[in-house]
Amino acid sequence: MEAAPVRVHLQTPEPAHAPEFLAAVSASRPLHRPWVSPPATQAAFRAHVARCREDNFRSLLIRRNDDDAFGGPRNLSAIQRGNLQSAYLGFYAFVPYAGLGYMTEGLTLVLRLAFGNLSLHRVEANVQPANTASLALVERVGFQRRPPFSSVAPQTPILRYRGEKPSAGSRRARRGPGTQYWRAGRSLQPDAATGFQRQAGGRG
């Protein structure tokens, strides 16, 4: 396994981060539309920080080591304990740091935290099918495309596409209107960079 990323680190949002965070959100609006609506006001950011104190939510800022610049947040929400030990992943980047590899490194750190300190067994990401940048990101760090309620090995990130309706008569697994799930690959292989499992082969 390769060494942990060294260009970025994680930080929990604090009230003092509001001016820098909101400025980054404002500058990144063209990048975020239509995929995500981050906190864009002082009140919204305060609510976000307050939510970080809840047991079922974690927000982590990706910050560059060299100058502490904001790369973008990663959120683990709907954290469930007990038998499930699971969470949903949300994320977005800030300009001008999108596409430079910082988000990949930051997401790798977040997943290591999720499966390590937080003792989660499953992390799921719901991604719009047309959001190719986000799809490439989660697949790059080892997420697998899976239908709902499928059995997967513990500590295996899961990718689920959202927002694309199945065609009439489709036999693909569904759960709720406007949601389509895909499974890719036929065999699992460990990924050297992340330690998570990746799938080899074509769409199944």
* pLDDT tens figures, 29-77: 988 888 888 999 999 999 999 999 999 999 999 999 999 988 889 999 9
Domain membership flag for residue 3: no
Domain membership flag for residue 1: no
Mean pLDDT of 90-104: 89
Structure tokens given for 13: 């949002």
- Overall pTM surpassing 0.85 (yes/no): no
Domain membership flag for residue 91: yes
What was the pLDDT predicted at 173?
34
pLDDT at residue 105 above 60? yes
Residue 4: pLDDT band with limits 50, 70, 90: low
What was the pLDDT predicted at 159?
56
Tell which residue, 107, 198, 196, has the closest CA to residue 155: 196
pLDDT at residue 7 above 60? yes
Dist. CA 105–CA 91, nearest whole Å: 13
Dist. CA 10–CA 74, nearest whole Å: 9
Structure tokens given for 191: 């990924």
What was the pLDDT predicted at 97?
87
Structure tokens given for 200: 């080899």
For the chain, how many structural domains are there in total?
1
Domain membership flag for residue 2: no
Domain membership flag for residue 61: yes
Cis peptide before 96 (omega within 30 of 0): yes
Question: How confident is the model over 150-197, as pLDDT tens digits?
Answer: 555 555 555 564 332 233 443 333 333 333 332 222 222 333 333 333
What was the pLDDT predicted at 148?
53
What angle in degrees, to the nearest 10, is found between the helix axes of 102-115 and 132-140? 50
Report the C-alpha dihedral over residues 182, 186, 188, 192, rounded to 10 degrees.
Answer: -80
Residue type, 68: D
Domain membership flag for residue 133: yes
Please give the C-alpha separations between residue 63 and each of 32, 52, 147, 200, in angstroms, as whole numbers. Answer: 19, 17, 33, 32
Residues forming a β-bridge with 184: 203
> Greater confidence, 17 or 201?
17
Domain that holds residue 68: 8-200
Q: In CATH, what number is assigned to the domain containing residue 178?
A: 3.40.630.30
pLDDT at residue 123 above 50? yes
Cα angle, residue 129 at apex, residues 74 and 59 outer, rounded to 5°: 10
Domain membership flag for residue 139: yes
> Greater confidence, 189 or 5?
5
Please give the C-alpha separations between residue 160 and each of 89, 90, 123, in angstroms, as whole numbers. Answer: 11, 12, 11
